[in-house]
Structure 1
Amino acid sequence: MADRVNVSFFQELMAAVAEQGRALLPKALFRDEGGESIEVLSRALMSGRGEASGVAIARQLLNQFKKAGSDERLAFYRFLADDLQPDAGAVAEAARNYLDQPSDKTLARLQKASYSPRLEFFRRLNLAAGATAEIVALRADLLRHIKSDEALAAVDRDLERLLSSWFNRGFLVLRRIDWQTPAAILEKIIQYEAVHEIRGWDDLRRRLDPKDRRCFAFFHPALVDEPLIFVEVALMREMPDAISTVLDSRSADEQAPPTTAVFYSISNCQEGLKGVSFGNFLLKQVVEDLARDVASLRTFVTLSPAPSFARWVDRALASGSEVPVSADDRKALARLRDPRWVEDAQKDAPGTDELQSALMGLAAYYYLMARSSDERPVDQVARFHLGNGARLERLNWLGDTSEKGLREAHGLMVNYRYDLGEIERNHEAYADEGTVAASRAVRGLLRPLPKAKGLAVVPDLLALPGASKTKRTRNGEPQS
Structure 2
Amino acid sequence: MTKKDFDAVRESMHSAISLNKAEVLDFVLNDFSEGYLSLSFENRRKLLTMLAQVYDLNRTQVRDLIKQYLGLELPGSNASESSTVDEEAMLSSFYRLERNLRQVLKPAYELLFERLNNHHGGLRFLSILRADILSILEEENIGSLQVLDSCLKEKLNAWLSPAALELQQITWDDPASLLEKIAAYEAVHPISNLLDLKRRLGVGRLCFGYLHPAIPGEPLIFMEVALLKNVAQTIHEVLWDAPPIVESEATCAFLFYIINSVSTTSHEVK
TM-score tier, shorter chain, comes to: 0.7 to 0.9
Measured in 1, the distance between the counterparts of 2:265 and 2:163 equals 19
For residue 57 of structure 1, the aligned residue among 28, 43, 56 is 28
Percent identity (aligned): 27
- The Cα of 1:240 is off from its aligned counterpart by 3.7
1:42-121 equivalences under 5 Å are: 42-92=13-63, 97=69, 105=95, 107-121=98-112
For residue 263 of structure 2, the aligned residue among 244, 267, 270 is 270
1:168-247 equivalences under 5 Å are: 168-210=161-203, 212-247=204-239
* CA distances 1:133-167 after superposition (whole Å, capped 9, x unpaired): 22222322332222123222222222222222222
**Cα–Cα, structure 1 residues 42 and 59, in superposed 2: closer, same or farther, change >3 Å?**
same
Aligned to 1:430: none
Measured in 2, the distance between the counterparts of 1:150 and 1:181 equals 43
Aligned to 1:140: 131
- The residue identity in structure 1 corresponding to 2:195 is D
- The Cα of 1:76 is off from its aligned counterpart by 0.5
- The residue identity in structure 1 corresponding to 2:15 is A
SS in 1 for 2:18: coil
- The Cα of 1:242 is off from its aligned counterpart by 2.7
- Segments of structure 2 that go 5 or more residues without pairing to the other structure are 76-90
SS in 1 for 2:207: strand
* CA distances 1:195-216 after superposition (whole Å, capped 9, x unpaired): 1101111211221224x22110
Measured in 2, the distance between the counterparts of 1:83 and 1:258 equals 62
- The residue identity in structure 1 corresponding to 2:250 is P
SS in 1 for 2:10: helix
- The residue identity in structure 1 corresponding to 2:199 is R
SS in 2 for 1:230: strand
- The residue identity in structure 2 corresponding to 1:204 is L
- The Cα of 1:87 is off from its aligned counterpart by 2.6
- The residue identity in structure 2 corresponding to 1:69 is S
1:366-385 equivalences under 5 Å are: none
Measured in 1, the distance between the counterparts of 2:135 and 2:49 equals 14
The alignment's TM-score, normalised by the length of structure 2, stands at 0.77
- The residue identity in structure 2 corresponding to 1:199 is S
- The Cα of 1:111 is off from its aligned counterpart by 3.1
Contact kept in structure 2, 1:190 and 1:198, CA below 8 Å: yes
SS in 2 for 1:187: helix
- The Cα of 1:115 is off from its aligned counterpart by 2.0
Measured in 2, the distance between the counterparts of 1:237 and 1:107 equals 65
Measured in 1, the distance between the counterparts of 2:262 and 2:250 equals 32
For the pair 1:37 / 2:28, whether they are aligned, the reply is no
* CA distances 1:284-318 after superposition (whole Å, capped 9, x unpaired): xxxxxxxxxxxxxxxxxxxxxxxxxxxxxxxxxxx
**Cα–Cα, structure 1 residues 138 and 256, in superposed 2: closer, same or farther, change >3 Å?**
same
Aligned to 1:249: 241
SS in 2 for 1:180: coil
Aligned to 2:78: none
Measured in 2, the distance between the counterparts of 1:35 and 1:276 equals 28
**Cα–Cα, structure 1 residues 110 and 49, in superposed 2: closer, same or farther, change >3 Å?**
closer
- Segments of structure 1 that go 5 or more residues without pairing to the other structure are 1-32, 278-480
Measured in 2, the distance between the counterparts of 1:116 and 1:238 equals 58
* CA distances 1:343-392 after superposition (whole Å, capped 9, x unpaired): xxxxxxxxxxxxxxxxxxxxxxxxxxxxxxxxxxxxxxxxxxxxxxxxxx
Structure number with higher helix proportion = 2
- The Cα of 1:185 is off from its aligned counterpart by 1.0
**Higher normalized contact order (CA 8 Å, seq sep 6+, divided by chain length):** 2
The alignment's TM-score, normalised by the length of structure 1, stands at 0.46
Aligned to 1:149: 140
- The residue identity in structure 2 corresponding to 1:135 is L
**Cα–Cα, structure 1 residues 270 and 213, in superposed 2: closer, same or farther, change >3 Å?**
same
- The residue identity in structure 2 corresponding to 1:257 is A
- The residue identity in structure 2 corresponding to 1:191 is A
Aligned to 2:84: none
Measured in 2, the distance between the counterparts of 1:40 and 1:215 equals 45
* CA distances 1:147-191 after superposition (whole Å, capped 9, x unpaired): 123222222222222222222233322110112222221111000
* CA distances 1:11-65 after superposition (whole Å, capped 9, x unpaired): xxxxxxxxxxxxxxxxxxxxxx848432222222222331122222211111211
Measured in 2, the distance between the counterparts of 1:99 and 1:160 equals 35
**Cα–Cα, structure 1 residues 205 and 50, in superposed 2: closer, same or farther, change >3 Å?**
same
Measured in 2, the distance between the counterparts of 1:252 and 1:45 equals 54
Contact kept in structure 2, 1:216 and 1:230, CA below 8 Å: yes
For residue 125 of structure 1, the aligned residue among 99, 116, 121 is 116
